[in-house]
Amino acid sequence: MLDGTLLRLLLFVALCFLTLYLFFISAAVVVGITERLLTLDFKPGAYSTDSPIFLRWLAYAGLHMWAVVLIFSFLQGTNWIKIYLRIAGAKIGKSVFINTKRIYDPYLLQIKDNVIVGGEATIMCHLFEGGRLILGEVLLESGTSVGANSYLTPGTHTGKNSSIGIYTNLRRNTVMKDGEVLITPPSMSLRQVAKIIRMVK
């Protein structure tokens, strides 16, 4: 009797996990398709806040933020995040590992082969500047390594086999050479920075 109850309990728990797993996968597919439809003719450029593109982008951004919070936390580091990104318009090569949920505007993202995106890195293909929405492509060339908690902005293009250190913030339109390494220096007081500048001169 106890064995039958235990078996039913184990079966119930397994079905709950399977149902939850199927929910996240199907939600990622549905969100990816919806986002792609909302952003079909979006191109890099600057858009005023009263343009139709901006209003559609707002609808996309609201849906995407909901998905980041509720769905993508469970998919980062798996192949399902790459499937979602491809459906949403990103171009992703082979042997790519993405361990972040913080990818915004994937329809403007291209990731070549053998790229690693570290945990909680942010890839942002949009920003606001001068009261306008700026959309720009981000290209991660083959062999690029993006460190954990780094921040990439529109117009970022990495070189082949380049590395971006942890907590590194790349400004808009940063272009890296092949094999280049960019890191953020450790925190220093203004006095220490001034001393280093004097030493360099």
The mean pLDDT of the chain is: 91
Residue 49 and residue 68: Cα distance in Å, rounded? 24
pTM of the model: 0.85
pLDDT digits (tens, 9 = 90+) for 22-31: 888 898 899 9
> Are the C-beta atoms of residues 89 and 39 closer than 8 Å to each other?
yes
Token pair belonging to 165 = 């250190």
Sequence-separated contacts (24+) of 8-14 with Cβ below 8 Å: none
pLDDT of 3 strictly over 80 = no
Q: What is the pLDDT of residue 34?
A: 94
Of residues 140, 138, 174, the one with CA closest to residue 159? 140
pLDDT classification of 198: cutoffs 50, 70, 90: confident
CA atoms within a 13 Å half-sphere pointing along the CA-CB vector of 109: 27
Task: Report angle CA 84, 90, 96 to the nearest 5 degrees.
Answer: 80
CATH class as words, domain 2-185? mainly beta
Place 183 in a pLDDT band, splitting at 50, 70 and 90.
confident
pLDDT at 105: 96
Query: Which of the four pLDDT bands, split at 50, 70 and 90, describes residue 153?
Result: very high
CA distance 6 to 89: 46
Q: What angle do CA 157, 50, 125 make, to 5 degrees?
A: 15
pLDDT of residue 188: 74
Please check whether residue 176 is in contact with residue 150, taking contact to mean a CB–CB distance below 8 angstroms. no
Structure tokens belonging to residue 21:
């797993």
Q: Of the given ranges (1-5, 41-45, 57-61, 111-115), which has the lowest mean pLDDT?
A: 1-5
Cβ 89 vs Cβ 106: under 8 Å: yes
- Closest-CA residue to 142 (of 114, 168, 123, 165): 114
DSSP state of 185: P
Please name the helix (run of DSSP H) or strand (run of DSSP E) that holds residue 26, with its range, or none.
Answer: helix 2-38
Q: What are the residue ranges spanned by the domains of the chain?
A: 2-185
- Residue 42, both tokens: 């979006």
